[in-house]
Amino acid sequence: MSLKITIATRESRLALWQAEHVKALLQQRGHQVTLLGMTTRGDQILDRSLSKVGGKGLFVKELETALEEGRADIAVHSLKDVPMDLPPGFALAGVMAREDPRDAWVSPHYGRLEDLPTGAVVGTSSLRRTVLLRALRPDLRIEPLRGNLDTRLRKLDEGLYAGIVLAAAGLKRLGLAARIRHVFDTEQMLPAAGQGALGIETRAGRAELAQALAPLADAATTLCTAAERAVSRAMGGSCSMPLAAHATLEGTQMLLRAAWGDPEGAPGLVRASERADVRTPEQAEALGQRVAAALRAGGAH
């Protein structure tokens, strides 16, 4: 059955790429698809870190309003921006195959983080990246960096930072892979829950729409991100928490690793990991809860 589907999307270049990507996949399956571009509170507030103004959910709320009012049928999000618990009446209808989940080092003068002189300024507004960077190089100055991808690159090029850390996935999707000087190994910089994956949000109970979206979902990414998001949910689930969680799946064997750091404290990390047989979302959720418990036992809060 062919459906008319309107996609609510932020108007940043990356968000529009993501929405256009989903639009093209749905059109290939015979659906009629249009975009509804929107500016969110997260896009408007650029002078404060997200952790201080309400978290990454600020990128999602206006899109959910469009779904609730019937102006749009689905919203396409970077999964790492989606709150761990959706409001009543909303559903995560699908998680798509993951792009590169790792963090990328971008700098005009320094090929790697190790090359920076003592006291150099590195830009990021992610608490997760802040604590991971501090664990690697406690001598650096970590300064806030807000704005969309193009804005962050412009601030770097203006000389405000010696280097910045960005998601490799976004750079690759926008054809900016040449800006990447180095991709961090996940042992160095453990990704955020859901990093590199796209999530499709809908109103709950729309069976025909869920059926149309089902072919876009990726089973392995769905399981891995369910485990990652379970860690975050069990730990409190907000972007004001310096938490990393990343899962990999080989056959049915999932390895889930997590790390937590104190944003105000010493540059050490609490780490936890577990390997388990995972075949269902429920098993992924249970694994995430066990890893979160191990983090708390190690001193994370």
Q: What is the set of active-site residues?
A: 81
Residue 52 in contact with residue 241, Cβ under 8 Å?
A: no
- Write the pLDDT tens digit of every residue in 32-63: 999 999 976 655 544 444 444 445 556 788 89
**pLDDT, mean of residues 129-151:** 94
On average, the pLDDT of the chain sits at 92
CATH superfamily ID and name for 219-295: Porphobilinogen deaminase, C-terminal domain (3.30.160.40)
**pLDDT, mean of residues 174-196:** 97
Range among 57-71, 78-92, 139-153, 281-295 with highest mean pLDDT value = 281-295
CATH of the domain spanning 103-183: 3.40.190.10
**pLDDT, mean of residues 253-273:** 91
- Write the pLDDT tens digit of every residue in 5-34: 999 999 999 999 999 999 999 999 999 999
The per-residue pLDDT for 142 is 95
DSSP readout, the chain?
Answer: ---EEEEEEE-SHHHHHHHHHHHHHHHHTT-EEEEEEE--HHHH--SS-HHHHT-GGGGTHHHHHHHHTTS-SEEEEEGGGS-SSPPTTEEEEEEPPP---SEEEE-SS-SSGGGSPTT-EEE---HHHHHHHHHH-TTSEEE---S-HHHHHHHHHTTS-SEEEEEHHHHHHTT-GGG-SEEPPTTTSPPPTTTT-EEEEEETT-HHHHHHHGGG--HHHHHHHHHHHHHHHHTT--TTS-EEEEEEEETTEEEEEEEEE-TTS-S-EEEEEEEEE--SHHHHHHHHHHHHHHHHHTT--
Check if 1-96+197-217 and 103-183 are the same fold.
yes
The per-residue pLDDT for 151 is 93
Residue 199 in contact with residue 98, Cβ under 8 Å?
A: no
- Class for the domain spanning 1-96+197-217: alpha beta
**pLDDT, mean of residues 268-296:** 97
The one-letter amino acid code at 1 reads M
The residue to which tokens 């991100």 are assigned: 225
Residue spans per domain, the chain: 1-96+197-217, 103-183, 219-295
Residue 4 in contact with residue 31, Cβ under 8 Å?
A: yes
**pLDDT, mean of residues 156-164:** 97
**pLDDT, mean of residues 247-271:** 92
Tokens encoding 171: 């750079």
Residue 125 has pLDDT above 90, yes or no: no
The per-residue pLDDT for 58 is 66
Residue 245 in contact with residue 192, Cβ under 8 Å?
A: yes
**pLDDT, mean of residues 92-111:** 97
Q: How far apart are CA 258 and CA 185, in angstroms?
A: 14
The per-residue pLDDT for 187 is 92
The residue to which tokens 């529009």 are assigned: 16
Residue 33 in contact with residue 200, Cβ under 8 Å?
A: no
Residue 241 in contact with residue 235, Cβ under 8 Å?
A: yes
The one-letter amino acid code at 91 reads A
Q: For a pLDDT cut of 70, what percent of the chain falls above it? A: 92
The per-residue pLDDT for 269 is 95
pTM above 0.85, yes or no: yes
The per-residue pLDDT for 43 is 52
Strand order of the β-sheet with 243-250 is: 243-250, 253-261, 269-277
**pLDDT, mean of residues 259-283:** 92
Residue 73 in contact with residue 202, Cβ under 8 Å?
A: yes
